[in-house]
Amino acid sequence: MARVYNFSAGPAVLPQAVLEQAKEEMLDWQGAGMSVMEMSHRGKAFMSIAEKAMADLRELMAIPDDYEVLFLQGGASSQFAMVPANLLRGKKTADYVNTGAWSKKAIAEAKRYCDVNVAASDEANNFTGVPAFDTWQLNKDAAYLHYTPNETIGGVAFPFIPDTGDIPLVIDMSSSILSSPIDVSKFGLIYAGAQKNIGPAGLTVVIVRKDLIGKVIDGTPSMFDYEIHAKNDSMYNTPPTYSWYLAGLVFDWLKKNGGLTAMAEINNRKAKKLYDAIDGSDFYTNPVVPECRSVMNVPFTLADPELDKTFLTEAEKIGLCTLKGHRSVGGMRASIYNAMPEEGIDALVSFMADFEKRNA
């Protein structure tokens, strides 16, 4: 069996070493005589898996003690509602920055809970960058400011962290969490669906400053209340145990491979190779302003869109898979998360050069 290079935006490639360990432990996890999927989430075996994963994530991201780490379900999409339900804290309005498809979804959901002030939007530029901070229209009464540091579909990344004083920053890190070190203390809340850079779908990570929770809007379901999950160590109900276990294996893999500093270095090198290939040709184009280009998701178009299909078919034939761009953007998109080996980028870059030579 040959594994392909999978450039999917999510669910996405996982480290091969992690999959091999999961395979090794599938039928009998470390002498338990059963797979992790079959264990009680309250039993000793799973508790040890759960606690280690939590501790490793805290260590990898250097999460301060005054933050809760919650392992939830419902995807980042549930966070679009949980954030306002929990963090409005009696206020009537929140600031949002609109930099693309995922920001828009977050904004639409927040509007069900409060007045949304769109402090800045790049829509007029077709979402090819991030509006300069000095142009933002911030509201001093905002309960928080929400933005999407990495727009997975447009391939747009924030080159700065905004300074909003006492107004907490809330970020949707679904496609960039664990890709480089960040200073968690600069944020009120960080959330991420697991299926891009953490592990399998089904797990959603929330990192939230403790003083921000406990003031949920009346009528909010228990499952949408951060405080209830915090008080129950993310086991208020049955958690997604296998996803939790696999995320733990990924955290372990990251620690063994130099942590987030090493990841950032590799990720920057991988992304540079691909952007250099795009910029060095008249055949491929990436529309994003250079300082806002994502290191994780690299969209690009061909000079002649008629060739898109041929490009995808030929790429797939040599094991370069899932390169089709999002339907809203067209063209191609290479998602190059932590688990995408550098050899995958090399293979893609060399295919692109060859394809150009034959078709330009």
Ligand X SMILES: *Cc1c(COP(=O)(O)O)cnc(C)c1O
Residues 279-308 that bind ligand X (CB under 6 A): none
Catalytic residue chosen out of the listed positions 104, 196, 270, 324 = 196
> Which token pair is 223?
């499952």
Provide the 3-class DSSP secondary structure of residue 208: strand
**Interface mask (CB under 6 A) for ligand X, residues 3-42, using x and -?**
-------x--------------------------------
> Which residue has its beta carbon closest to ligand X?
75
Query: Shortest gap between Cβ of 221 and ligand X (angstroms)?
Result: 17
Q: Give yes or no: 196 in active site.
A: yes
Q: Give yes or no: 91 in active site.
A: no
Query: Shortest gap between Cβ of 275 and ligand X (angstroms)?
Result: 20
Query: With respect to ligand X, which residue has the nearer C-beta, 198 or 277?
Result: 198
Tally of CB atoms within 10 A around 121: 19
Let me know: does 98 contact 122? Beta carbons within 8 Å: yes
**Interface mask (CB under 6 A) for ligand X, residues 52-91, using x and -?**
-----------------------xxx--------------
Among 7, 102, 144, 226, binds ligand X (CB under 6 A): 102
Residues 184-203 that bind ligand X (CB under 6 A): 193, 196
Place of tokens 């069900």: 112
Calculate ∠ Cα 331-333-337, nearest 5°.
180
Hey, CA dihedral for 62, 14, 149, 80, is it positive or negative?
A: negative
Query: Shortest gap between Cβ of 227 and ligand X (angstroms)?
Result: 22
Provide the 3-class DSSP secondary structure of residue 168: coil
Provide the 3-class DSSP secondary structure of residue 37: helix
Query: CA 221 to CA 15: how far, in whole Å?
Result: 36
Percent helix, strand and coil across the chain, each rounded to 5? 40, 15, 45
Q: How many CA atoms lie within 13 A of 326 on its CB side?
A: 16
Query: With respect to ligand X, which residue has the nearer C-beta, 72 or 88?
Result: 72
Query: With respect to ligand X, which residue has the nearer C-beta, 294 or 356?
Result: 294
> Which token pair is 246?
């696999």
Distances in Å between the Cα of 135 and the Cα atoms of 106, 116, 162, 244 are: 21, 17, 12, 41
Query: Shortest gap between Cβ of 146 and ligand X (angstroms)?
Result: 11
Query: With respect to ligand X, which residue has the nearer C-beta, 160 or 257?
Result: 160
Catalytic residue chosen out of the listed positions 56, 95, 172, 225 = 172
Query: Shortest gap between Cβ of 78 and ligand X (angstroms)?
Result: 7
User: Which string of b and e fits 273-306 if b means at least 16 CB within 10 Å?
Assistant: bbbebbeeeebbebbbeeebbbbbbbbbbbeeee
Query: Shortest gap between Cβ of 107 and ligand X (angstroms)?
Result: 12
Query: Shortest gap between Cβ of 193 and ligand X (angstroms)?
Result: 3
Q: With CB under 6 A, what is the number of residues at the site for ligand X?
A: 12
Q: Residue 118: beta bridge partners?
A: 96
**Interface mask (CB under 6 A) for ligand X, residues 134-173, using x and -?**
--------------x---x-------------------x-
Q: Give yes or no: 172 in active site.
A: yes
**Interface mask (CB under 6 A) for ligand X, residues 236-255, using x and -?**
--------------------
Query: CA 16 to CA 313: how far, in whole Å?
Result: 25
Query: CA 145 to CA 23: how far, in whole Å?
Result: 42
93-98 and 145-147: which strand pairing? Answer: parallel
Q: What is the largest CA-CA distance in the chain?
A: 63
Among 6, 98, 99, 175, binds ligand X (CB under 6 A): 175
Query: With respect to ligand X, which residue has the nearer C-beta, 82 or 349?
Result: 82
User: What are the residues binding ligand X (CB under 6 A)?
Assistant: 10, 75-77, 102, 148, 152, 172, 174-175, 193, 196
Active site residues: 102, 172, 196
